[in-house]
Amino acid sequence: MKYSFGLLGLAAVACADNVVQLTSDSFATEINKHELSMVEFVTPWCQYCKELAPVFEEAAGELEPKGIPFFKIDCDDEKELCDNQKIGIFPTIKSFRGTQVREVYNGRRTVDEIVTYMTRSNRQNVTSLYTMEEFNEFKSADKISLVGFFEAEDAMSRSHFEAVAEELRSTYSFGSAADVALAKTEGVEQPSIILYKNFDSGKEIYTGDIKEDEVKAFIKSGVRPILGELGPGAEFTWEGLPLGFIFAETKAEREKLTKIFYSFAKSVKDKIGLLTVDPAVYENLAATLDLKADSFPAFAIRGADTTSRYPFELQGKISELTEKAVGAFINKFLDGEAKRVPRAPTAVTVVTNDNFKEEVIDNKKDVLVEFYAPWCGYCKKLEPAYETLAMMFRDESDKVSIVKVDATENDSPEQVKSYPTIMLYPADGKSKPVVYAGDRSIVDLASFIRDNGTHGVKNEKVEDAIEQNKKEAAEKSNKHEEL
């Protein structure tokens, strides 16, 4: 229910208690009143917009005491405004500083994540730390925090550090300390930067030139775990690097292999990412890497192009996955001498103008279509997850089809304004495809097919992952309430 909102008359209306709906007439005036604000661009027919609404409302309520307002734009009513904001997917969430777009929010759509993101965005780029108490509290408050140790007169180093902080402050915490005594307690000299983290060694030290590109490269490397574990719904943090997957069926074996490879993984961390994997959860990943389904433990490399595969020939015995043997294999790969396995036939159906009607429209399947561009980095990043998704639905190929269209070479619907755009054509609603606007994870994509398709096809592993995600979200929510 909508009602008049005080001084703005009909220009803005309140949605429930905390989110204010704006129009073209009130948008610029209202958001310009605030140093920081968050705006959701939605439509009444968008299912994901409906699911976001209570989350957005609750996050707005939590941040209202901090003076951070949340707004909403109905893009059906305010088409010109949304076109000017280049809104092509619903919902789209943006943070603003005054009338200037700060950035599009691409984080998880949970209350905790949105509140954390906006809280970080609202604080100073760099927090000045004067006492040991302030310093100790700051460095342990977040999963990842960075502290720059600069002399008070070193304006140049601080300027470059602040520029990086302005770009990344919604992701990490940044502080600075001018007191040389604080630097000495950490065993560093000025100027230097320490990245504190609650995993691996606990911190990384940077003593090179304090310049923006160099500092960002240091952060990108420092936030990568030396050897992580791939779990349901997890996101890769090794973008642009090849990945080495260590498959083992039991937790004990994965822990043992982590200890075996940890030192070697540390030595190649900036060249290749290493992760342990439970093959029962990621059996399709093992298959795409040309590993035998009944022969674990096993190891394989996937190239940075996300399509090339290099399986280690010895499989089935943990005694054969030694640091020396696998290390030599990895080094051979890094030197460009490893034997590449021919690319397996894709499980994703390639569609063009010639077969679009047949593959997408004239059938009784729920068809998920990715409209992509060959040069699009986000499309390339999506490729392994989309391929795995297609493999997961192979047994339901009479009800579900996963396809892709090169939108630069073929016709595409008017809704395709950015890449990748993902749309579901339900079996009984081909004339009304549903645009996907969620996280591009396997779990969320499969849930989208289940919830919006005619057949409501469920995948057992996806359902298990969904339950696990719900459990983790509940635990996070309880922790958040306690804090």
Contact 90, 50 (CB under 8 A): no
Q: Is the pLDDT of residue 479 over 60?
A: no
* Least confident segment among 61-70, 339-348, 360-369, 460-469: 460-469
CA 138 vs. chain centroid, Å, equals 25
Residue-averaged pLDDT of the chain: 85
Query: What confidence score (pLDDT) does residue 466 get?
Result: 61
Q: Looking at the domain assignment, is residue 52 inside a domain?
A: yes
Distance from first CA to last CA of the chain, Å, rounded?
32
* Secondary structure E strands in 123-219: 127-128, 144-149, 173-177, 192-197, 203-206
For position 430, what pLDDT does the model report? Answer: 93
Closest among 73, 87, 76 to 38, alpha carbons compared = 73
Nearest residue to 100 (alpha-carbon basis) of 163, 31, 169:
31
Which residue, of 189, 222, 255, is where some domain finishes? 222
Helix (H) or strand (E) holding 366: strand 366-372
What CATH number does the domain containing 16 carry?
3.40.30.10
Report how many domains make up the chain.
4
At 439 the pLDDT is: 75
Domain match, 116 and 11 both: yes
Residues 109, 23 within the same domain:
yes
Cβ-contact 95, 103 below 8 angstroms: yes
Q: What single string gives the DSSP state of each residue in 130-157?
A: -SHHHHHHHHTTSSEEEEEE--TT-HHH
Question: What does the pLDDT read at residue 5?
Answer: 32
Task: Reply yes or no on whether the pLDDT at 361 is more than 60.
Answer: yes
Tens of pLDDT, residue by residue over 64-75, are: 998 999 999 999
How large is the average pLDDT for residues 52-74?
93
The closest alpha carbon to 300, from 346, 357, 228, 242, belongs to 242
The mean pLDDT value for 86-99 works out to 85
Strand spans (E) along 414-468: 421-425, 434-435
Share of the chain above pLDDT 70, in %: 89
For the stretch 229-284, pLDDT in tens is 876 444 446 677 899 999 999 999 999 999 999 999 999 988 998 999 888 877 77
Per-residue confidence (pLDDT) for residue 465, from 0 to 100: 62
Over residues 94-118, the mean pLDDT reads 86
Task: Tell me what the mean pLDDT of segment 448-470 comes to.
Answer: 77
Higher pLDDT, 314 or 12: 314
Asked if 360 and 312 sit in the same domain, the reply is no
> Do 359 and 307 fall within a single domain?
no
**Residue 358: band (very low, low, confident or very high) from pLDDT cuts 50, 70, 90:** very high
Q: Could you tell me where the DSSP H helices lie in 224-366?
A: 251-267, 283-288, 323-334, 356
14 close to 60: Cβ distance less than 8 angstroms: no
pTM of the entire structure?
0.58
pLDDT greater than 60 at residue 476:
no
**What ranges make up the beta strands (E) of 264-360?**
273-277, 298-302, 309-311, 349-351
pLDDT at 4 over 50: no
Q: Is residue 288 part of a domain?
A: yes
Residues 96 and 29 both lie in one domain:
yes
**C-alpha radius of gyration, the chain, whole number:** 25
Whether 378 is covered by a domain: the verdict is yes
Instruction: Note whether 306 and 390 are same-domain residues.
Output: no
Query: Is the bond into 65 cis (omega within 30 degrees of 0)?
Result: no
Residue 476 lies in a domain: no
Write the CA distances from 219 to 145, 146, 162, integer angstroms: 10, 9, 14
Catalytic residue among 15, 49, 75, 82: 49
Is the pLDDT reported for residue 8 higher than 60? no
pLDDT in tens, 120-130: 888 778 889 99
Instruction: Determine the Cα–Cα distance for residues 79 and 105; give it in Å rounded to an integer.
Output: 21
Q: Which phi and psi (to 5°) does residue 411 adopt?
A: -65, 150
| Cβ(438)–Cβ(48) below 8 Å | yes
Q: Which two tokens stand for residue 121?
A: 């965005």
Is 482 among the domain residues? no
The verdict on whether omega for the bond into residue 225 sits within 30 degrees of 0, i.e. cis, is no
Please give the Cα distance from 139 to 9 (Å, whole number): 46
Same domain, 114 and 155: no
Closest CA to 230 of 148, 302, 154: 302
Question: Which of the following is catalytic: 15, 75, 82, 379?
Answer: 379
What is residue 6's predicted lDDT score, i.e. its pLDDT?
35
Q: Poorest-confidence range of 196-200, 260-264, 402-406?
A: 196-200
- Tell me if 472 is assigned to some domain: no
pLDDT bucket at 151, cuts 50 / 70 / 90: very high
Nearest to 36 by CA among 149, 106, 153, 120: 120
Find the helix packing angle between 47-63 and 111-122, rounded to 10°: 50
Domain boundary among 222, 242, 277: 222
Residue 134 lies in a domain: yes
Residue 218 lies in a domain: yes
How many helices (H) and strands (E) the chain has is answered by 15, 22
What type of residue sits at position 363? N
Catalytic residue among 15, 46, 75, 82: 46
What the block records as the tokens of 211 is 């310049």
Nearest to 108 by CA among 376, 477, 373: 477
Q: Which of the two residues, 347 and 238, has the higher pLDDT score?
A: 347
Q: How sure is the predictor about 13, in pLDDT bands with cuts at 50, 70 and 90?
A: very low
At residue 435, φ and ψ (nearest 5 deg) are -80, 130
Q: Does residue 300 sit in helix, strand or coil?
A: strand
Q: What is the pLDDT of residue 234?
A: 45
- Enter the tokens of residue 437: 């606007």
Check whether residue 278 and residue 303 sit in a common domain. yes
Same domain for 6 and 117?
Answer: yes
Question: Largest alpha-carbon pair distance within the chain?
Answer: 74
The token pair at 342 is 């021919």
Are 129 and 165 members of one domain? Answer: yes
- Structure confidence by residue, pLDDT tens digits, 153-168: 999 999 999 999 988 8
Range of the domain at 237: 227-334
Judge whether 75 counts as a catalytic residue: no
Query: Which residue from 186, 172, 190 is spatially nearest to 135, judged by alpha carbons?
Result: 186
Q: Which of 310, 334, 358 is the last residue of a domain?
A: 334
Residues 380 and 419 reside in one and the same domain:
yes
Q: Is 15 among the catalytic positions?
A: no
Q: Does 265 lie in the same domain as 245?
A: yes
